[in-house]
Each structure stands twice: as C-alpha cells, then as structure tokens.
Amino acid sequence: MMPRSVLSRCARLTQQVPLESARSTKHGVHRGMSSVTIPPPACMLRPLEAPFRYLFGPGPSNVPPRVLAAGGRPIIGHMHSEMFGIMNDIKKGIQYAFQTSNNMTLAMSGSGHTAMECAVFNIVEPGESVLVAINGIWGERVAEIAERMGAKVHTLVKAPGGHFTNAEIEQALAKHKPVLFFLTHGESSSGLVHPVDGVGDICHKYNCLLLVDSVASLGAAPLLMDQQNIDILYTGSQKALNAPPGTAPISFSERACHKMFNRKTKPVSYLLDMTHLSNYWGNDGKPQRIYHHTGPVSGFFALRESLAILAETGLENSWKHHTEVAEYLWKGLEDLGLKLFIKDKDLRLPSVTTIAIPEGYNWKELLAYIMKHHQIEFTGGLGPSVGMVLRIGLMGYNCNKANAAMALAALEDALKQCRKSKA
C-alpha cells in the first residue's frame, strides 16, 4: 500500500498538469510554463526500497559500514587538489594490494569489464594476435572484447574447472606469437584459482605481455604482480575489497607501458585511452592534470576506505583468513554429503566455492528457497558452468566462520525442504 502522504502528493501533481498546461508563443514554449506531457512516474514518488540481503554469491559482497560511510561523505570536485590526494592514496593502496611498484597504477571509473576493455584496447592494435585462456566465462568475454576491436584471437580452451600447464601455454605462445596472453587468476564461474608462477617468464620469452584477471581473487588468494612478472593486472571493487561495484583497480608494467604508448593507431575508446587516464591519475609526469571525464567521486572515497582496510589487515593475513574460512566451509559442505566441483584443494578459489549440483535437485529451486527463507544469495553457474554448479562466495567483510555456518545451515535446510517439495 502506498502511504497516504505519497498518495496526496501524487494527486496534487496530477492536478497541476492541466493548470500549468503549456502555452506556446511565437518563439516556442512560454518560459515558466510547463510543457511536459509525461507526468512524473508514480514509482519516483515512492521512497527507494533496497532490502537487506546476505550477499554470499560471487559478488557483489556486503559492504562494511565504514566503507559505506566513506562513500556517503560530501562530494568534492573531481579536479580538486584534495581529490587528487585521495587518488594518490588509492594508487598507493592498489600498489600494495597488487604488490607492485608500477607507476602506471590507477582505478578505472567503471566495473571489472571496464578494466578488461581498458587493458585490451590499449595494449592491442587491430590485426595483432592475442591468445586467451578460456576455462570459464572470463576468457570467453576477453576473447569477444579482443575480437570486437579487430584483434586476431587464438584460444586455449578447457572445460570449466580445468587449468593449463605452463607447457601447454608455452606451446600455444610459440605457435600463435601473440602480443598479449590473457589468464584468469580467480575463475569465479568455476571456482578455480589458476597457478601463475612462471607464466610471465614464458610470455616474455616469446615477446608477449601477460594480462591477468584478479577480480574474484584479489585479497583472497596470493598474487604478486611484480614477482610473478605480470604485465597488466586488474581487479574489481565489489568482491574481497568490499567496496560498492563501479571502480576497478588496474596496473601496467613498464613493458606494457612501452607497448601501449608506442602504438601506431589510437585505441578505439576515448574514455579508456590510457594516454588520457594516465594524465588524469597524475602518472604521466606532466605538471598539470587536464579534464578527461568526471570520475566517480563517491566510488573513489569508498575504494580508498576498502584499500585502507586491506592495508590495516595485511595482505598475508587476508589470504590466510580466506583460506581458513573456505576450508571450514568446504568441510561443512562435504559433511552435508555435497561434492565440491574443484577436486584439488590447492586449485580451489578461497573466495568463491563451487559445489557440483546434487543429484535429484533442481538448482534454481534450491537458490529460490534459500533466498526466500534465509535472505541469502547464492548463485548458480555462469556461462559454461550454468547447470553444473552452485556458487557460494564469502569474501572480505563476509568472510567469517559465522557466515559460513549460516550458509551451511541454509543449504542443509534447502536440501531437506526442496527434496520434500519434489516428493
């Protein structure tokens, strides 16, 4: 039911339309008179409603009050010196989170996909070869992004849950001679954490740059950009970092900068052109920053706070904590008689656990039951893993044993009730 005050406000507004009907003059509509023919939509006269949910899926994750509060601070201008100071802090926070000393480190104004496109658009020129490892949806996406901008795309493909040996990667690099190789570190659609050791060295042997997606793994599983010779690394704000969706840290090695700043053609996107973005982030050494686009000021405040929390916690503590909670969850799932989709414990992503869909159950029914009766979001598979897995994500702020126990209890209840409803 709509509250009485809102109803009477609606009624008043509807009455205003004929009273202030448009009066045309020789020069158009009379100033001060309304010319609108579309009334204000009734939904806009109702207050915003967003229920509380336990976001135990693969992201976004619940945002701690401290980060929400940072995002709710008064806005300042995107070109104010204080904002540049905050962006400099964000850059340092990302350098810590990525374990890199790359100068070309910044946060994209946009979600993880923005960072994916930024990496591909800036590094690759039309006609150049790209090699993409596909073992879930993220490789598929990057292959499509590269294809759209005119790259020659080669793929290395495994079923969801599979991973590539360094020998397989080397063979494909030798064959296709790509300028860029893409690998997903935390494959959130399959729950796999991909080994990265040695891959950067192999890429460099073949004069290829290594691009790694850590959207689902950053802060949850060990990744060391400089030590592992990763050339371009990106993540998202809404997973283990626990900021709202909408910003995406990214960093480029010197090797990557050399390639992207010595192109023959301009990148297809103006918004994502690193020549402009590097100036906006004060990374190009020029004394003045020139307006390029209006960055998401509140999103950057929140991102800074989430990076501050990671710095206070310590990366190694964060990795250890995610592993401990994940192991607790995995044991609980096995005790319920469920099968984990990734058999090898060392290849399981601590932030997103995948469960093989239990026989005799309709996975959509299980998810709907859990959402309705427990206000908990789990999800099914994504892309090639649809119909194969259920996914439980416990990351950052949500990553604790109490939440894991709550997730297990909800799943146990659903397994009982949904089986009953089928009988």
Please enumerate, by residue number, every residue annotated as part of a binding site for substrate: 391
Q: How far is the CB of 322 from ligand PMP (least distance, A)?
A: 15
Among 170, 213, 231, 377, which residue interacts with ligand PMP (rule: CB under 6 A)? 213
For residues 111 and 166, which CB has a smaller minimum distance to ligand PMP in the complex? 111
Q: Output the smallest distance, CB 54 to ligand PMP, in A.
A: 18
Q: Indicate whether 244 belongs to the interface with ligand PMP (CB under 6 A).
A: no
Question: Residue length, the chain?
Answer: 423
**DSSP count for the chain of H helices, then E strands:** 13, 16
- Annotated binding residues: 391
Only one of the segments 98-106, 210-218, 326-334, 390-398 lies at the binding site for ligand PMP (rule: CB under 6 A); that segment is 210-218
Angle at which helix 137-148 crosses helix 112-123, to 10 degrees, equals 50
In the three-class reduction of DSSP (H, G, I as helix; E, B as strand; rest coil), residue 283 is classed as coil
What SS3 state is found at 152?
A: strand
CA count, 13 A, side-chain hemisphere, 25: 7
Return the amino acid letter for 209.
Answer: L
- Applying CB under 6 A, does 215 fall inside the site for ligand PMP? yes
**Does the footprint of ligand PMP cover residue 58 (CB under 6 A)?**
yes
Number of neighbouring beta carbons within 10 Å of residue 224: 15
E strand map for 177-272: 180-184, 186-187, 192-193, 209-213, 232-234, 247-252
107 sits near ligand PMP (criterion: CB under 6 A):
no
Helix (H, G, I), strand (E, B) or coil at 248: strand
Contact between 216 and ligand PMP per CB under 6 A = yes
Using CB under 6 A, which residues numbered 218 to 237 contact ligand PMP? Answer: 236
Does position 112 interact with ligand PMP (CB under 6 A)? The reply is yes
Nearer to ligand PMP, 9 or 113 (CB): 113
Residue (58 or 161) nearer to ligand PMP, CB: 58
| Residues 178-207, mask of contacts with ligand PMP (x by CB under 6 A) | ------x-x-x-------------------
Distances (CA, A) of 217 to 83, 224, 246, 386: 28, 12, 17, 20
Closest approach of ligand PMP to the CB of residue 385, in Å:
12
Closest by alpha carbon to 414, among 382, 355, 375, 368?
Answer: 368
Applying CB under 6 A, which part among 22-30, 107-115, 269-277, 360-368 lies near ligand PMP?
107-115
| Contacts with ligand PMP, residue ranges (CB under 6 A) | 58-59, 111-113, 138, 184, 186, 188, 213, 215-216, 236, 245
